Every structure is written in structure tokens, then in C-alpha cells.
């Protein structure tokens, strides 16, 4: 029996089999594997009519075991696929290599945290 007071305020009660639970996990992984840009878990949860706590816990577990390639942003509700993050970082790298500098506006526009800009440039070049 799943009891949840979900992260988005939802509460669901359901009795599910291990097979059903596993199938939901696979569906979630498939949807996120196909993502090419940041995905808000709450939107996916609402679309699939699931408990958001279930989705968040499963995403955290899949990231931890390496079966899902990406990360959750600090807010815990936005999944960022690794391929998206790599493309954004590549854009910063190319600009810095061509121009010898990078500014906060560019970093932010590419979805990278400006607070880590200096550290990123030091580590990359």
C-alpha cells in the first residue's frame, strides 16, 4: 500500500504489485531517457497520473545506480539529461576558446549556474 503526501501536494493511496511498480519505473525511465532538455517531474507526474513522491524517489534511485544519465537540479523537481548539460557546456567552451572570456549572461543563457562560472573555466582550461 503506497501512502503519499507528494512533493506537489498530491496524496494517493494505492495497492500495487511488484510487477506494476516495476512497469511504472520502466515507463518513467523510458520517458526521461528520451528527454533532450530539462524536464519538470511534476508535469510528467501529472500527465501519467502518478504520485510525485514515487517519481522523485525512482529518479533519484536511477541516477544513483547509473541507469539514468542525468541529474536533478537543486529544486529536486527538474531532471536535466546529461546530453543537454554536455551541449550547454560545449557552447561555453567554444565561446571561451574563440573569445578568451565568458560572461555571466552567456553562462546563464546556456542553463549553467553563474555561481560556478569561475570554477568551471578553471577546470576546463
> Which pTM value belongs to this model?
0.68
Name the 3-class secondary structure at 86. Answer: helix
Condensed to tens digits (0 to 9), the pLDDT of residues 14-58 reads 676 778 878 888 999 999 999 999 999 989 888 888 878 888 889
pLDDT of residue 125: 67
Name the 3-class secondary structure at 14. Answer: strand
Number of H helices, E strands in the chain: 6, 5
Of 118 and 65, the structure prediction assigns the larger pLDDT to 65
Longest dimension (CA), the chain: 58
Task: Determine contact, residues 52/8, Cβ cutoff 8 Å.
Answer: yes
User: CA-to-CA distance for 122 and 117, rounded, in angstroms?
Assistant: 9
60 band by pLDDT with thresholds 50, 70 and 90: very high
Amino acid at each position: 500500500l503506497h501512502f503519499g503526501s507528494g512533493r506537489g501536494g498530491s496524496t494517493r493511496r494505492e495497492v500495487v504489485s511488484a510487477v506494476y511498480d516495476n512497469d511504472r519505473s520502466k515507463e518513467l525511465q523510458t520517458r526521461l531517457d528520451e528527454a533532450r532538455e530539462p524536464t519538470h517531474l511534476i508535469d510528467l507526474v501529472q500527465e501519467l497520473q502518478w504520485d510525485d513522491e514515487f517519481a522523485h524517489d525512482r529518479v533519484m534511485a536511477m541516477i544513483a545506480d547509473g541507469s539514468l544519465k542525468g541529474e536533478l537540479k537543486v529544486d529536486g523537481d527538474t531532471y536535466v539529461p546529461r546530453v543537454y548539460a554536455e551541449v550547454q557546456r560545449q557552447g561555453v567552451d567554444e565561446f571561451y576558446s574563440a573569445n578568451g572570456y565568458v560572461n555571466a549572461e552567456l553562462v546563464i543563457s546556456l542553463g549553467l549556474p553563474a555561481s560556478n562560472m569561475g570554477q568551471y573555466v578553471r577546470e576546463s582550461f
